[in-house]
């Protein structure tokens, strides 16, 4: 199982001091956080994609390429790649290039985003969000798997004899997660292609996400990719920790109350009761995270949001120390217990290359056997 962090890259005033970091400070803080994630033993760092204030990560591959050059083991991903407003040709090129530069330590999460104005900024209509997501990903999937592509659709100019370069590293495209908080069509899309489904369950009650994940698992099996239990599921989470839970609640409350995403809404206590948000001791984070398997089954990736709402960099780095030293080792051990042998681990480039080679060998043997039978 893979554990990591994701960032939305918000530039938010610290409610306890009133100070707002500059864009440059926030961008460099995100890099520092990624390097710290590798240092403390996490597996994944993922960045969102936004094109509007108060967010800064408008070019995820630029940031991830810089981080790739400064890390050795960390798997680099996106918490959203906007499949609706990015050209799938450019996505194919950018992430294949990043894949080569990072030695395969790359995957990405497709999403539609949650900012309505971004659609007209990039020449699209938000009312076509779902059809855009379906058509654009169909083209991206094709570009990574076919050397020469002829294609025509509704939302972009046709392609004739087009080859996306560079080709995916080792002939194996980056693994794709399809992220959603509300759309069964996206769960269906992930299942159809045999990709991963990331349910960013940080806002709504678990029952909603149980329905989405169950749909994805059932359809994954329906399309012949494996059993429902073998489908690739990722989950979100939010934590704030101190050794003493009362200290954690007292320190985090002003950040929660003024956060741009959920501030001035439900109370901290209501939100922690209804969502994965855990504010307390490392042991409380462990206990709550372990309940996710009871709700959603064995899954492959757990990402935590830790650097939002104006929290200063020093505090975030302290949180990562606690996560890496006291939480993740226990979660790795506990999640491994009773995990069925047939349930896959988190996707990696090396594992996918090996699977592709095995599949090619099986095809060769089947062809040889058929030829021998005909002879």
Hey, how many other C-beta atoms are within 10 angstroms of the C-beta on 55? Answer: 20
Q: What is the pLDDT of residues 260-275, one digit of tens each?
A: 777 778 899 999 998 8
pTM of the full structure: 0.93
C-alpha 154/C-alpha 130 separation (Å) is 13
Instruction: Tell me the average pLDDT of the chain.
Output: 93
C-alpha 230/C-alpha 347 separation (Å) is 12
Q: What is the pLDDT of residues 119-170, one digit of tens each?
A: 788 888 888 889 999 999 999 999 999 999 999 999 999 999 999 999 999 9
C-alpha 317/C-alpha 155 separation (Å) is 43
What is the residue whose two structure tokens read 């007292």?
250
Q: Are strands 149-151 and 159-162 parallel, antiparallel or unpaired?
A: antiparallel
The DSSP bridge partners found for residue 28 are none
Is the pLDDT assigned to residue 198 strictly greater than 70? Answer: yes
C-alpha 180/C-alpha 155 separation (Å) is 22
Q: What is the pLDDT of residues 309-343, one digit of tens each?
A: 999 999 999 999 999 999 999 999 999 998 999 99
Helix (H) or strand (E) holding 177: strand 175-180
Is residue 151 within 8 Å of 145, Cβ to Cβ? no
Is residue 336 within 8 Å of 290, Cβ to Cβ? no
Tell me the percentage of the chain whose pLDDT exceeds 90. Answer: 80
List the CATH code of the domain at 2-346: 3.20.20.30
C-alpha 289/C-alpha 238 separation (Å) is 10
Which residue ranges make up each domain of the chain? 2-346
Is the pLDDT assigned to residue 116 strictly greater than 80? Answer: no
Residue 206's pLDDT band (cuts 50, 70, 90): confident
Is the pLDDT assigned to residue 90 strictly greater than 70? Answer: yes
């Amino acid at each position: 199982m893979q554990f990591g962090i994701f960032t939305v890259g918000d530039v938010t005033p610290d409610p306890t001091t009133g100070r707002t970091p500059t864009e440059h400070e926030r961008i460099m803080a995100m890099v520092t956080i990624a390097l710290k994630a590798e240092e403390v033993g996490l597996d994944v760092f993922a960045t969102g994609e936004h094109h509007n204030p108060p967010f800064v990560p408008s070019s995820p591959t630029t940031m991830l390429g810089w981080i790739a050059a400064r890390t050795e083991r960390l798997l680099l991903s996106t918490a959203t790649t906007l499949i609706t407003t990015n050209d799938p040709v450019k996505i194919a090129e950018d992430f294949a290039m990043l894949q080569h530069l990072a030695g395969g330590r790359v995957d990405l999460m497709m999403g539609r985003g949650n900012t309505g104005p971004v659609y007209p900024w990039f020449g699209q209509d938000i009312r076509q969000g779902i059809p855009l997501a379906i058509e654009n990903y169909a083209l991206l999937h094709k570009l990574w798997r076919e050397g020469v592509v002829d294609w025509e659709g509704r939302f972009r100019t046709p392609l004739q004899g087009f080859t996306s370069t560079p080709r995916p590293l080792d002939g194996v495209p980056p693994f794709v997660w399809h992220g959603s908080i509300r759309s069964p069509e996206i769960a269906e899309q992930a299942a159809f292609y045999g990709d991963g489904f990331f349910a960013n369950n940080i806002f709504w009650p678990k029952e909603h996400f149980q329905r989405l994940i169950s749909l994805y698992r059932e359809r994954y099996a329906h399309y012949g990719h494996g059993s429902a239990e073998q489908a690739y599921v990722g989950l979100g989470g939010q934590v704030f920790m101190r050794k003493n839970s009362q200290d954690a609640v007292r320190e985090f409350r002003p950040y929660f109350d003024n956060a741009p995403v959920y501030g001035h809404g439900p109370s901290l206590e209501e939100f922690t009761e209804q969502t994965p948000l855990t504010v307390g001791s490392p042991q409380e984070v462990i206990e709550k995270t372990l309940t996710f398997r009871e709700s959603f089954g064995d899954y492959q990736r757990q990402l935590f949001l830790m650097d939002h709402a104006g929290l200063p960099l020093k505090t975030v780095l302290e949180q990562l120390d606690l996560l890496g030293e006291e939480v993740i080792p226990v979660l790795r051990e506990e999640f491994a217990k009773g995990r069925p042998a047939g349930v896959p681990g988190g996707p990696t480039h090396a594992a996918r290359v090996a699977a592709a080679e095995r599949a090619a060998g099986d095809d060769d043997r089947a062809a040889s056997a058929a030829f021998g039978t005909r002879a």
